[in-house]
Homo-oligomer: A and B are copies of this chain.
Amino acid sequence: MFKQRLISGIILVLIAFVTLYYGGFLTFFVVGAISLIGVFELLRVIQMEKSALGVIVYTGSVLYYLLLLLGLEQYVMPLALLVLILLIAVYVFTFPKYEISSIAISYFALFYVTVMLSCIYRIRMLSDGAYMVVLVFLSAWGNDTLAYCTGRLIGKHKMSPILSPKKTVEGAIGGVIGAGLLGCLYGLFAKQFLSVNYNLIVVFGIVCAVGGLISIIGDLGASAIKRNYDIKDYSHLIPGHGGILDRFDSIIFTAPIIYYMLVMVVGLK
């Protein structure tokens, strides 16, 4: 089991590396496909993955990615409202087949998976995007690993006893500081390749620390949804790792926070 997990982990990192290194259409298609699988996994939790609601959310996700590709972001909100109107149309004309909770969770899936994950592609398309996109993974997986190490070493106070009994406050703090330090180290490395008018070590450190903090919410969020429906994994797509939502749970949250920090605070375009 450990060997299987390790091998598929390495393959996963290789796919991510190649995808994000080449950028452009390759990143577009891979991130888009991962989003669609993620939506499928989330809708399967409420057994709506093969319903009309699913078809509307998949179509909405594809159209959303096309708008990003074509640079037509002013149409994102009209598309989001169109998806809402279509979901309600299906809801009322098939009443009482679906509950409003299924409608709301389907709509939620569009944002939680598609819009949030699309930020990986959006970061990659920024200036120096190939370097910036590393921050998403550095803060999410860096935080996770270093929180685990710190927790094992000095962890005492449980953070979320019911949801994730092994996580400690000390571990969380260690993870956030650790992600920040990884960001600083990465800034030191990236400095050799990027010429920017801000201090890469400080900026990357702060970005990764904030990303690390938010990644904890993402990690716990994906677990909480599974708890609500009493399932162990979202799927078995990645041997030893579960599904897309199991493996990308924290990435889903670090991607938008890092994208908007880079665009709104650092001022990247």
Contact = CB atoms under 8 A, between A and B. Distances in A.
Interface of A: 75-78, 80-81, 84-85, 88-89, 91-93, 95-96, 99-101, 103-105, 107-108, 111-112, 115-116, 160, 162-163, 214, 217-218, 220-221, 223-225, 227-229, 253, 256-257, 260, 264
Contacts of A257: 85
A39 to B, nearest CB: 14
Nearest to A74: B73
Q: How many copies does the complex hold?
A: 2
B227 A81 contact: no
A69 to B, nearest CB: 17
Contact of A105 (B84, B95, B101, B160): B101
B217 A95 contact: no
A81 B224 contact: no
Contact of A91 (B78, B89, B91, B224): B224
A8 to B, nearest CB: 27
Contacts of A116: 81, 84
11 contacts: A80-B111, A84-B111, A85-B214, A88-B217, A88-B218, A88-B224, A92-B163, A95-B160, A95-B163, A96-B163, A104-B105
B84 A224 contact: no
Given A104-B105, A105-B101, A112 B84 contact: yes
Given A92-B163, A100-B229, 5 more contacts: A81-B115, A93-B160, A93-B220, A95-B162, A104-B107
Contacts of A105: 100-101, 104
A221 B92 contact: yes
Contacts of A220: 92-93, 95
A104 to B, nearest CB: 4
Nearest to A260: B78
Contact of A104 (B95, B96, B104, B115): B104
Contacts of A99: 228
A163 B260 CA distance: 43
A260 B93 CA distance: 24
A252 B85 CA distance: 10
Nearest to A108: B104
